Amino acid sequence: MPSFLQIEDISKSYGTKVLFDHIGFNINEGDKIALVAPNGTGKTSLLRILAGKDKSDSGGKITFLKDIRIAFLEQEYEFNPSASIEEQLHTDDFEEQLRVRRILDELGLKPGQIMGALSGGEVKRVAIAQMLAKEAEFLIMDEPTNHLDLDAIEYLENALKRSRCTLFMVSHDRYFLDRVCNTIMEMDHGAIYIYRGDYETFLEKRDERISNYNAETDRVRNVLRRELEWIHATPCARSGKAKYRKQAFLELKERASAAYTTSNITLEGIAGGGYLGKQVIDCRDLCFDWGGKPIISHFTYIFQRYERVGIVGGNGIGKTTFLDLLATSDNPAIKRGESVRIGYYRQDGLSLPDDDTVLETVQSTRLLEKFLFPHEMWNNRIGRLSGGEKRRLYLLTVLMQEPNLLILDEPTNDLDIVTLNILEEYLLDFKGTLIIVTHDRHFLDRLVDHLFVFCGGGVIKDFIGGYSEYRSFIEDLRKEKRAQKAAPKEVKKEKAEGPRKLSWKEKKELEQLELDIDALGTEQKELEALLEGGNLDYQKITEVSSRYEANRIALDEKETRWLELSELS
């Protein structure tokens, strides 16, 4: 593939901390790249430089090889809280405005909603609508799945899979990486490594790279050992050859000390669990309304010892409210066991002053070192930490309370993949009850036994299994409904008074529906052939994809109406 973007000799420091130094790489047209690196190593800074929002400290060059449109999805979307969504996304481009309206509708948003009244996930949907509507050839995205509910993540996933754009993003969502990206780029110890393939391939190749590096270092160490024996056995006043060998020895010593090391968070020694009696939390006919809207309606459930519950549902549907009730409410419908010690990780994170230091927040140097806060970071102010470092510090403050009931509200936001893997391992061994709200499907599949599905209107349904099983169940239901629609209807027995007949207007509507359905069906086949042909340019495939989706919605509506009328004919 032709080179799309060339990055040469760029650097960034934050105070005395060097994030990356004189790095460079190429991006090919059509690449969909996920950047992976530990928190605090400059991922967001790199994205901002590529998007033109920041500059490299060392100058360097960023060269696009053709004139293209760029869209940048930042972690924190700036908006006017008093503006409507329509006002926030206003553009003079009429075609783009039409695309904005279509995407907002598909994401369940209305143009008249006020930005300041939206949930965090709804604000992220607005940002995504703005990005996708631009139909840019190059997308730069910083943690695009943060705050999104699972339906919105899958919508974005499908949109990116269909698109022919070139993509460079930071994400910790492993399922999202696998389904969207064809390349993983690792920034490690100041160097860039490229892995073509999925997340599993990345893990395998990374392990192979580190093993090969350390194997070479081990070989050098063996040579060093023999040279060391020779040095000890040889008088200092030897020939010039001996001086040469001594110099070679010093070089070998330097190479041998360069073994690959990586700092990993470890949760060993951080206590969790402890005695937990038979009663954990009992909910009896729990109800909760907000502004006259039912959030939880007549919910009854007895949480058990060592139970693992995942909670899923749309943005703004009441998941966080439910956790707040379980953890802190004095609602008489909620009874907590006397032995319960709750550790509550809130989605909002730390609420400490920016001027407080890391050591003032967690006064255990042992735990700080275990959680990847080395001595040189202890006096760092919280305001100077990266988003992921703040999350990691907050998580440590929760775990060090030694809870036997952990309630976690979106714990994966802003954490890097290494931290997520270590957290998962800790939670798998956690000797207590676990209640998690998360949009991370990998996290849910690994950790929970069943799901509470928030359906809206206060209804909460219990599903036994992980998220992938739940999605398979939902897809099977949808297929069954589609099959029922397509199957011929049984002729209903006429009532004694006789069936209602179609009016003249309804007969005309039915005739027109049959013509419309045939025409739409033919057009859908033509659009499918175009999409599968692989001969369209970027702009054309976007137009065809938009038309295909609009046709699908119209066809579904007309088929439903045709079924209603045909039962009366």
- Give the per-residue pLDDT at 496: 47
- Give the per-residue pLDDT at 256: 60
- Give the per-residue pLDDT at 556: 74
The residue segments making up the domain with residue 403 are: 281-474
462 and 526 both lie in a single domain = no
- Give the per-residue pLDDT at 180: 94
92 and 23 both lie in a single domain = yes
29 and 176 both lie in a single domain = yes
Q: Are 410 and 387 in contact (CB under 8 A)?
A: no
CA-closest candidate to residue 435, choices 334, 319, 276: 319
pTM over 0.85: no
pLDDT at 165 over 50: yes
315 and 449 both lie in a single domain = yes
* Integer Cα distance of 160 and 138 in angstroms: 12
Q: At what angle do helices 120-133 and 150-162 cross, to 10 degrees?
A: 10
Q: Are 175 and 167 in contact (CB under 8 A)?
A: no
Q: Are 511 and 519 in contact (CB under 8 A)?
A: no
Backbone φ, ψ for residue 374 (5° rounding): -70, 170
Write the CA distances from 150 to 84, 414, 477, integer angstroms.
25, 17, 18
384 and 287 both lie in a single domain = yes
314 and 441 both lie in a single domain = yes
Q: Quick one: pLDDT band at residue 247, thresholds 50, 70, 90?
A: low
Q: Quick one: pLDDT band at residue 45, thresholds 50, 70, 90?
A: very high
Q: Is residue 197 part of a domain?
A: no
231 and 331 both lie in a single domain = no
pLDDT at 71 over 50: yes
Q: Specify which of 385-389, 465-469, 526-530, 556-560 reaches the highest per-range mean pLDDT.
A: 465-469
Where is pLDDT greater, at 420 or 563?
A: 420
Distance of CA 267 to the CA centre of its chain: 23
Q: Is residue 464 part of a domain?
A: yes
pLDDT at 509 over 90: no
- Give the per-residue pLDDT at 26: 93
- Give the per-residue pLDDT at 264: 58
Q: Is residue 484 part of a domain?
A: no
- Give the per-residue pLDDT at 237: 43
Where is pLDDT greater, at 490 or 363?
A: 363
pLDDT at 550 over 90: no
- Give the per-residue pLDDT at 272: 63
Q: Is residue 261 part of a domain?
A: no
Q: Is residue 268 part of a domain?
A: no
* Integer Cα distance of 50 and 210 in angstroms: 28
Where is pLDDT greater, at 108 or 1?
A: 108
16 and 152 both lie in a single domain = yes
Domain count, the chain: 4
110 and 235 both lie in a single domain = no
Q: Is residue 43 part of a domain?
A: yes
Where is pLDDT greater, at 221 or 137?
A: 137
Q: What is the CATH number of the domain that holds 407?
A: 3.40.50.300
CA-closest candidate to residue 465, choices 309, 317, 323: 309
Gyration radius (Cα) of the chain, Å = 29
* Integer Cα distance of 80 and 87 in angstroms: 9
CA-closest candidate to residue 221, choices 229, 247, 241, 245: 229
Q: Are 531 and 469 in contact (CB under 8 A)?
A: no
pLDDT at 243 over 70: no
pLDDT at 181 over 70: yes
- Give the per-residue pLDDT at 494: 45
pLDDT at 415 over 50: yes
- Give the per-residue pLDDT at 437: 96
Q: Quick one: pLDDT band at residue 540, thresholds 50, 70, 90?
A: confident
Q: Quick one: pLDDT band at residue 210, thresholds 50, 70, 90?
A: confident
**Element of type H or E holding 420:** helix 417-428
117 and 236 both lie in a single domain = no
* Integer Cα distance of 452 and 407 in angstroms: 14
pLDDT at 259 over 70: no
Q: Are 136 and 166 in contact (CB under 8 A)?
A: no
Residues in the chain: 569
Q: What integer best gives the mean pLDDT of the chain? A: 85
pLDDT at 262 over 60: no
Q: Is residue 265 part of a domain?
A: no
451-500 pLDDT, tens digit each: 999 999 999 999 999 999 999 998 888 888 778 777 765 544 444 455 66
47 and 76 both lie in a single domain = yes
- Give the per-residue pLDDT at 270: 65
For the chain, report the end-to-end CA distance as a whole number of angstroms: 58
Q: Which residues contact 387 (CB under 8 A, 6 or more apart)?
A: 39, 44, 75, 414
Q: Are 100 and 133 in contact (CB under 8 A)?
A: yes
Q: Is residue 391 part of a domain?
A: yes
121 and 241 both lie in a single domain = no
